Amino acid sequence: MSESILNYPLGVFRFQVNFFLSGESSSERKLCGGAFSECTGLEATMEPKVIKEGGRNYGDIQRAGRVNFATVVLKRGITKNRDLWNWFYLVCNGSYAYRLNAEITQMGFDKNKEDVPVMVWKMKKALPTKFKTADYNSTFDQVAIEELHFVHEGLTHKLL
């Protein structure tokens, strides 16, 4: 990627999400994916460990502590594709070890205005924790939105 492209902020409205079935080997197989209207929760928070040292009156000693990851929430218009519901249902019915790896790819444009991936966020061992379908109301005139909430065990970031 050229340095001039790195200096411009990226739009947050062009991304894609994919889930991969990961086995014992390093090879991954794409299981499902799709276009989502919203993705929130890509964050990691480190809780510092505070050490209060006797005789040190000007502030505490700060050490790196445990890192926690937020719950990722995906929202999309309801379609006939039931992949995400099936994953949630499978886990709820006893397949608690059925974890997937997730990737969220940020899209950009190259010099010819073609779509290109510019960065990817990867999450290990994603586990669905909540599935929510749309609220149905005969007075609404909007698209039905479903949500999938999932937790994970690691977040990495890579520029492409």
Q: What is the pLDDT along the chain (160 residues), one digit of tens a residue?
A: 455 555 667 777 888 999 988 754 445 677 777 778 899 999 999 999 999 999 999 999 999 999 999 999 999 988 888 888 889 999 999 877 788 999 999 988 888 888 889 899 999 999 999 999 998 888 888 888 999 999 999 999 998 8
How far apart are alpha carbons 77 and 6 in whole angstroms? 32
How far apart are alpha carbons 129 and 82 in whole angstroms? 16
**Whole-model pTM?**
0.83
| Total domains present in the chain | 1
Instruction: Report how far apart the first and last C-alpha atoms of the chain are (Å, whole number).
Output: 7
State the CATH number of the domain containing residue 30: 2.30.110
Domain hosting 55: range is: 3-159
